[in-house]
Structure 1
Amino acid sequence: MIVRPVADDEWEIVAWLWQDFRHDLGAIVNGFPYADGRYRHEWLDEHPQPDGVGYLVWQPHPNTGEEAPVAFATVRGVGSGTCVMQAFFVVPAARRGGLGRRFALDVMSRHPGGWAVPFQGGNDRAAAFWRVVATEAWGDAWVETEEPVPGKPEVAPDHWIRRP
């Protein structure tokens, strides 16, 4: 697993993976693509930004051997004292071997201090994943809260794992 910050010329790669990320969430958030065929991407459009960073995971493609992107993360709040894991995605073919856990821990270790990791209510896989990651990263020094989604009272509250 090779983790590197997203270079200026690699945000288009993240944009392609972003569509897979939002497609995965579609079943959880009842998300549809917009008229141009793309899922919502306003968070991605904020990058690069002074207080945000992105990371890509690269590994050899099984058919070609060339480096291929298999995961990404975007983090905001860098330098503010509390980083937020804005988006986190591992391609389905690279899941189940621990890559996601190692990647999440790598990203968190690059930014010491407080952390917040939000995920959607009803996303049981994300809940299980982030609870394991939080415990491995911080032991018992984290809390999980539920918070209403702003402007969407009809949806399940978001969950937030926080380390002060």
Structure 2
Amino acid sequence: MRLVGEHELTVRRVSPDEVAVLERLWLMFRHDLSGLRGVLPSPDGTFRSERVLAAVDDPTWAAYLLWLQDRPVGLALVRALDQPVRVLNAFFVVRGLRRTGAGSRAVSEVLALHPGAWTVAFQAENEPAVHFWRGVARAAAGERWTEELRAVPDRPDLPPDSWISFTTHG
């Protein structure tokens, strides 16, 4: 639990009765990213959600909600919990809380829950994400992190993603 202003920011695993909250935050997250990659919603107005379903149902994934008091303010999806390198598959903070330090605090809590090797993908054209994830890597691992470009699977029309890798210690 960390303070944002005078309020407590908490990160906790999604409970069964919070899945609908996770799904709504996922829509906000995917909407944010849609402008970077030209992704349109499905005919029913949603975006692809197999990652959310996996994060809730698959034991090798973990889904977290970020809360500011009683308000959901973000999400984190972690996969590959059974592998040597964990993947922070999705991380989102609502716009009203960005640039307050809440995202950095929340991601540090998620990383602390699963110490070890990590990798995170982001889009190089998303300048705030570039700054944020490089800062996260420096905070978590000092100068012991790497960044590389990797092709987006099955999407040769897209520019490659940037991937940052680092190791945390518990």
Please say whether Structure 1 and Structure 2 have the same fold, judged by a TM-score greater than 0.5: yes
1:44 aligned onto 2:52: yes
Structure 1 portions without partners, runs of 5+? 61-66
In the TM superposition, structure 1's runs of 4+ consecutive aligned residues that sit over 3 Å from their partners are: none
Counterpart check, 1:144 vs 2:144:
no
Name the SS for the 2:55 alignment partner: coil
- Alpha-carbon separation, structure 2, partners of 1:100 and 1:79: 25
Trace 1:9-158 onto structure 2 (pairs within 5 A): 9-48=17-56, 49-60=58-69, 67-158=70-161
Task: For residue 132 of structure 1, report the CA deviation from its aligned partner.
Answer: 0.4
Listed as ranges, the gaps of 5+ residues in structure 2 are 1-8
Residue 153 of structure 1: how far off its partner (Å): 1.4
Q: Deviations over 1:46-88 (max 9, x none)?
A: 122111111111113xxxxxx0100110100113221100110
The Cα of 1:7 is off from its aligned counterpart by 1.1
SS at match of 1:116: strand
Q: TM-score, normalised by structure 2?
A: 0.89
One-letter amino acid of the structure 1 residue matched with residue 35 of structure 2:
A
Partner AA of 2:94 in structure 1: V
RMSD in angstroms over aligned alpha carbons? 1.1
Identity of aligned residues (%): 40
* 3-state SS of paired residue (2:134): helix
Q: What TM-score, normalized to structure 1?
A: 0.92
The residue aligned with 1:3 is 11
